[in-house]
Amino acid sequence: MQEDWEDKTVIATDVTPATTSGRKRAQLIVLAGANVGEMYDLKGTLVIGRGREADIRVQGDGVSRKHVRLLTVSDGLMMEDLGSTNGTFVNGERVQTCILKDGDKIQVGTVTIFRFSYQDELDEDFQRQMFESASRDALTQVYNKRFFLEQLQSEFAYAARHSTELSLLMFDIDHFKLINDTHGHLAGDLVLSELTRIVMPAIRTEDIFARYGGEEFVILSRTTPPGASKVVAERVRKTIELHPFAHEGKRIPVTVSIGVGIMPNPKIQTPESLLAVADKALYDAKRAGRNRVVMAD
C-alpha cells in the first residue's frame, strides 16, 4: 500500500488540450415532455407547434398548431408567440416577444419545457450521447421501450384529436428460444442486431422502430391507412425471412409473426388498447402457424 503512495506521476509528452472550432450554435434541448434530451439546431426561422407544418413538432397538451416562432435577428435569437391559446412562458413569465438569453427555459403547453443555450461541439456530443443512451436499446440501437411508450402517448393523442390513421406493428421472432438453445446466446444476439439493421431500410425514416422486450419489436407509423400498413408488414416479414442469417458459418432460419392494429377504430380508445389490439393480432398470427401477418379486425 505504501508503494502506491510513493509512485510518481508519469510525465506525458503527448497530452494536447481538447479543442473545438470555437463556434457555438444556438440550440433547444428538451427538458420535460416527450423526447427528453433531444436537441434542435436553431437556424433561420423555425415554428414550434403541434401541427404537421411546424418545424419542431410538440404533441403535449395545451400546444397550439403554430405556437411560437424563433427567428434570428441582429440582437440574437428572438422568440415570438403566434397567438397561442395557452401562451408561451420564459423562465415562468408569460411573454409575447423576447430576445432569448443563454440558459432561458421556455414552456409551451402544460408539460413541454425547452432550454435555450449556445453549445460548442463538445457540448453537443455530450448531450447527444446522453439522449442516445437514454432512448436507444444497447444491443440493437433501435429505440427502447420507454422512448416508444412516450411517443405512443403523443402520437395517439394527435391521431385521436384529428381522426387520422395510426398503425402499430407488433412482431416477434418465431421460436427464438430454439435459436438460443441450438446456436447459443451469442448467435441470438447477432440475430437481434442483424434483424434491426435490415428492417430499418424497409420502413420510413419517420416511423418509430423500437425493441419492446426480448425478441419482440414494434413499429409505430402515423398517417398510414390499413392497406399501406399491410404492405409494410409484409415487406418486413419477407425481408427477414429471405435474409441469410448465419453464425460461425451455420445458417440460422429466422421468421417473424406480425400483428397490426390500426386506428381510428371504435375498439381503440387509449394507447393501451391499441397495444392490446396489436398484441392479440400477433397472438393470432402465432396460433395460425407463424411467419405471417394478421390485421386486427
- The residues annotated with a catalytic role in the active site are 215
CB atoms within 10 A of CB 128: 13
Residue 294 pairs in a beta bridge with 259
Return all residues near 208 (Cβ < 8 A) that are at least 6 apart. 143, 148, 151, 155, 218, 219, 220, 221
Q: Are 157 and 110 in contact (CB under 8 A)?
A: no
Secondary structure (3-state) at 11: coil
CA distance 188 to 84: 51
As given in the structure block, the three cell numbers for residue 284 are 393470432
DSSP class of residue 70 equals: E
Place of cell 436499446: 137
Report which residue type is found at 23: R
